[in-house]
Chains A and B, each alone.
Chain A
């Protein structure tokens, strides 16, 4: 087990290095240098060379990459080009708690909604309940998240106008605070985050449960006269959860990318919005910082799903 984890960690470090390298090279090969963007229309060759030197952009690529990595280990992502004088770390640090909050509740809600619906469908397999349930979920899974977000915003505005709901259509409120005013901001985006994933999880749960119900030990459990509730929750539930655990780990990895459009449509000042703003403004240090953070999420997610896997299923040995 320990050996396996060490092996995985080494592998994951390589993935991280690969991702940082790709990110770095993209910035390095970009046809426009960041200094050109900084100077805009006031181009001055002498100042240009001076600034290139100051930012270390005139060094050969391997030295630049080395500097980048050394800074990264010290959690120093450098200075933002767009907001002069502000460090990338401080810019990212503003958004991370908000995105984490959105993703955390979204992820939990995904499973809270998805798993019971999946079980329901599996228990009533091939009845109208199953068909209606799965049909709705397929619908919700297929439509793009930004379309869903727009629909939800339209509904909120309609409720505000016609039912006097008085809900704020955009924004986020205080991170990790749950007064009613904060909840009014948070409920809609979190629901939108959860719905698409919940549909996917429900489908997986259904397939997984149907598979488990075909197993011999379920038949044995029923044959010895156990009541159905115990058969389902003691015997089937744990085994059917195994594939879902992998999804849980992988969802952690895609937690930030999942919130890209939600943050955009609902104007939430999270890390995804920071990424979008820095990408449009060609603010490379911030782009590199956010990309590395996203990669860390993905890698951690993979690792967590591996660990959970070994805990939940003793048959799996490495």
Chain B
């Protein structure tokens, strides 16, 4: 403690900013009491001691940026799921110039081109306006969010289950599993992952178009390639997860409680499932949160290049590429909307991921 303080005084002569000493060196966090987290722990012990998980959640709840991000994301998820069924019933029946009567269920459908209502600014009938071919932008946006959500969930399911299985086995047993994992990750890291996605989408896309288009929600309305793309994204992302898990497993393996469990005759399977996997929770949750934004960007990017979700379907990327032409018109709102929403989602995920990392592993800060 003493030496580190003196160190800091030495490294901060005149040129350094005044007031630096009021900010503790990040390396001291964890060893010194003044961090708010540890303060609270000692206060908590007088009543009831918190589990490490509860402690982490407490730290997370104090992180304003992460909490705002979490609420924003929750809001987007809610919109994606409960938004369309509600929006469908809002508004009265409208008579088009041709004399056709339309209920809100029809003109608020994300798949419909309302050709009499093109390039409208946000108004009472179309809350976020319409694009150049009369799509209701709010309806499309909600559908796009749903697609992003589905892609994220699918990818994370595969990513986490594959990553944990291979990572734990590689870390625990080493040997050939470890070797194969190492070689595989090397190749995946050397090969540009987005190119890999493009190749997979291009080669198996036409097949998916004809064979996967009957699956409800996942396949209908131009979403046939969603499953394919999610698989491809998961394929490029699980080696990274497996590496994190492997590293953590190597560390846990050496801890004393594993030794104790072994001495008392616990078999490998029980050690893996009872003692190692539950302890991977924090690293997996942090890694997958940070990975989700990557997934959403990849899905949007592939769809933007015309290799993913197709018309009449909707995806943030497809919305951007559909409305690129509006940049030169006064209606650039149409392309800015999906861009802004995508930026917000991605930023929120990275803030939340950073917050989670700081909460679960405070020493990793900086």
Contact = CB atoms under 8 A, between A and B. Distances in A.
B206 A31 contact: yes
B144 interface: no
Given A150-B335, A169-B327, A31 B17 contact: no
B43 interface: no
Interface string A1-33: 000000000000001001100110011011110
Contacts of B187: 15, 18
Contacts, number: 138
B304 A264 contact: yes
Contacts of A143: 342-343, 346-347
Contacts of A142: 293, 346-347, 350
Interface centre among B23, B191, B336, by most A CB within 10 Å?
B191
A154 B324 contact: no
Interface stretch (B154-162, B195-203, B249-257, B273-281): B195-203
Interface stretch (A105-113, A121-129, A178-186): A121-129
Contact of A257 (B194, B203, B207): B194
Looking at chain B's contact residues, the main secondary structure is: helix
Nearest to A18: B187
Interface in A263-318: 264-265, 275-276, 279-280, 282, 287, 291, 294-295, 298-299, 302
Given A18-B187, A143-B346, A222 B13 contact: yes
Contact of A127 (B17, B202, B297): B17
Contact of A298 (B20, B192, B194): B192
A261 B304 contact: yes
Given A153-B327, A154-B335, A147 B343 contact: yes
A154 B190 contact: no
Contact of A279 (B23, B198, B336): B198
A214 B10 CA distance: 10
Contacts of A147: 320, 339, 342-343
A150 B320 contact: yes
Contacts of A222: 10-11, 13
B207 A31 contact: yes
Interface residues of A, number: 59
A295 B196 CA distance: 11
A264 B306 CA distance: 11
Looking at chain A's contact residues, the main secondary structure is: helix
A157 interface: yes
A302 B17 CA distance: 38
A287 B192 contact: no
A144 B297 contact: yes
Interface centre among A150, A256, A261, A276, by most B CB within 10 Å?
A150
Contacts of B342: 143-144, 147
Interface centre among A31, A146, A223, A253, by most B CB within 10 Å?
A146
A213 interface: yes
Interface centre among B190, B336, B347, B350, by most A CB within 10 Å?
B190
A228 B199 CA distance: 52
Interface string B296-334: 010011001111000000000100100010011000100
In the A-B complex, the 6 residue pairs with the smallest Cβ-Cβ separation, listed nearest first, are: A279-B202, A126-B23, A257-B192, A228-B15, A31-B207, A30-B203
Given A146-B304, A154-B336, 17 more contacts: A15-B187, A15-B190, A123-B17, A129-B17, A138-B350, A144-B343, A146-B301, A210-B366, A222-B10, A228-B15, A253-B190, A253-B192, A257-B194, A260-B305, A261-B304, A280-B307, A295-B191
Interface of A: 15, 18-19, 22-23, 26-27, 29-32, 123-127, 129, 138-139, 142-144, 146-147, 150-151, 153-154, 157, 169, 207, 210, 213-214, 218-219, 222-223, 228, 253-254, 256-257, 260-261, 264-265, 275-276, 279-280, 282, 287, 291, 294-295, 298-299, 302
13 contacts: A15-B190, A123-B17, A126-B26, A139-B347, A147-B339, A150-B320, A150-B339, A154-B336, A213-B11, A218-B11, A223-B10, A253-B192, A260-B194
